Structure 1
Amino acid sequence: MSPELAAVAFALLSAVSWGAGDFSGGVASRRLNPYLIALLVHATGLLLFTLLALLGAEAFQPQDIPWSIAAGFAGCVGLVFLYRAFQAGQMGLAAPISGVVGAALAALVGFFLEGLPAPLQLLGFAVGLLGVWLAARSRGASGPSQGLIYAFLAGLGFGGYFSLIHQVEGLFWPSALAKLVATTLMLWLVWRMGLLRRETKLTATLGLVGLAGLLDAGGNVFFLVAAQAGRLDVAAVISSLYPASTALLAWGLLREHLSRDQALGVLLSLVAITLIASG
């Protein structure tokens, strides 16, 4: 398999893993505060990446430290602003906007660092971004959003994470350091909000939260491998197709209705993957 096809395959695995992680976290959020879920998800990733780095005897690259710290901060900020957008009551718009902005920012960085991709890949990017928007949309999510600025900032955070973590040379240690930064920031936020003192349903949701953490960590690993094997913009756009897998899981396991827009988004996502891979 060529490096380009390998990058597409790993980026697709990243989208599936991230989408399944969002599904698990979404189910858990019906019982537990989402900020606390974010903390536990980051902490799970921190433990997993540290264990994998130690078991694999991965060499620590000091030059990865600043990139990992910045990536952890960007990812954490993106998540916080995403939840702020959700709290504004505009979840149907927040998810697609943050996904599109994040993928677009990473694609622009990729264009700047690596030059323009092939014409078919450019078309695939456009189709993929449209697929991200449609797959994440909810019915009735039209009209202006008071949480639009939060969703936009969330997308900048996620796009920043994509772009920054791409610069590292290692695999598990950079991800562990990024998760350490995110865990520390989320722990401070949760402590300031007093959530640990008020939450009473933590034990009952640990299984779902742990699964969400493992899937989130898997998405991070697959994305990093994809970005190192191929182009950053290819990895970022395909990885950002995760709303399609989230929608499919909700439809298949929870019997939630898949709207026409979501179904079209899933189809466009598959078309985008084909175009980007063929490029």
Structure 2
Amino acid sequence: MTAVVLATACALVYGTADFLGGLATRRSRVLAVVVLSQAAGLAVIVALLPFLPETPTPGALAWGAASGLCGTAGVVLFYRALATGVMSVVAPITATFSAALPVLFGLAVGERPEPVALGGVVLALLAVLMVSRGPSDGKTGRGYGPILASLAAGAGFGGFFVIIAQAPADGGMWPLVGARLISVTLIALLAVATGRALRPGPGTLPVIVAAGTLDMAANVLFVLAQQRGMLSLVAVLVSLYPASTLLLARHFLGERLNTVQVVGIGFTLAAVALIASG
């Protein structure tokens, strides 16, 4: 039950961080938001380290760095897919595949959730697909390129969950330090190589910092959750984060939800209940 609570809280915090990041990208360049928010998250975890009992180990930092490579690749490929495809196609493919990969990995290494919990996993994957689906304009993008990029982005995000879960438990939060150092460095180098400015738009820096802080808080919750529960259950609960992003956008921005998204939010709640009871 503790893992379910932590994973559900993680999804809520991830969704809030994405909402704030989305607000910031309306007035700042995407790469500026990504780099500055990632840097803010790194500052948060580094500030917390003196208060944590664990000490850094090569294994913890190495697993963290590897997960950071996957996460960074996921971010770059996701925005690449968005630039060449359609949101209503890209988002559900990426979100569903990022949820499915840890589930398949967990089952492959011997995790055996109860049948009720497995039913919740299936319902959760369907919910992710539904809540991530926005209005379509009838287009599918430029051929198969955006679809392949979406699948690769989902593999990157799912790989982050799988790899960071392999870090030794005695490493505490140090894997997150390795992951964030890699991601900040690589995305900053990408911004420099492409000549993109990293200056935030007027008034957006506090929002960017808040997004980065919450994103790191969500990462901490994920690490704590997967240390206490099955990856196949924790990761799929975490992947329900688009539901909270949608609800925040509905409440604060007045964005309308389509019927599929509303049903998907209902499926989200049912999936959490099934997994918690399994």
Pair in the same fold by TM > 0.5: yes
Moved more, 164-173 or 7-16: 164-173
| Structure 1 residue 18: Cα displacement | 0.6
Structure 2, unmatched stretches of 5+, are none
Taking only aligned residues, the RMSD between alpha carbons, in angstroms, comes to 1.4
The amino acid across from 2:221 in the alignment is F
Question: Between the two proteins, what is the percent identity of the paired residues?
Answer: 37
- For residue 107 of structure 1, the aligned residue among 100, 103, 106 is 103
Q: Does 1:81 align with 2:63?
A: no
For structure 1, which segment, 183-192 or 55-64, has the greater mean C-alpha deviation from structure 2 after superposition?
55-64
Could you tell me which of 88, 92, 117 is aligned with 2:113? 117
Structure 1 unaligned segments of length 5 or more: list them.
none
Determine the C-alpha separation between the residues in 2 that align with 1:36 and 1:235.
30
Secondary structure of residue in 2 paired with 1:204:
coil
Q: Which letter does structure 2 place at the counterpart of 1:195?
A: R
CA distance in 2, matches of 1:96, 1:230: 26
Q: Which amino acid aligns with 2:261?
A: Q
For the Cα contact (< 8 Å) 2:86–2:140, is it kept in 1? no
Q: Does the 8 Å contact 1:48/1:217 carry over to 2?
A: yes
C-alpha distance in structure 1 between counterparts of 2:201 and 2:110, whole Å: 45
Instruction: Give the match for residue 41 of structure 2.
Output: 45
One-letter code aligned to 2:16: A
Structure 2 SS opposite 1:191: helix
Aligned length: 273
- SS of residue in 2 equivalent to 1:195: coil
User: Which stretch of the first structure deviates more once superposed, 258-267 or 236-245?
Assistant: 258-267
Deviation at 1:45, TM superposition (A): 1.3
User: Is this contact kept in 1: 2:94–2:151, CA < 8 A?
Assistant: yes
- 1:181 counterpart = 2:177: no
CA distance in 2, matches of 1:182, 1:69: 8
Q: State the 4+ residue runs in structure 1 displaced beyond 6 angstroms.
A: none
Structure 1 residue corresponding to 2:65, chosen from 42, 46, 69: 69
Q: Could you tell me which residue of structure 1 aligns to residue 135 of structure 2?
A: 139
- 8 Å CA contact 2:11–2:237 kept in 1: the answer is yes
Looking at structure 2, the residues matched to 201 and 46 of structure 1 have their Cα atoms a distance apart, in angstroms, of 18
Q: Secondary structure at the match of 2:256?
A: coil
* TM-score, normalization by structure 2: 0.94
* 163-172 vs 148-157, which moves further: 163-172
Match of 1:246 in 2: 245
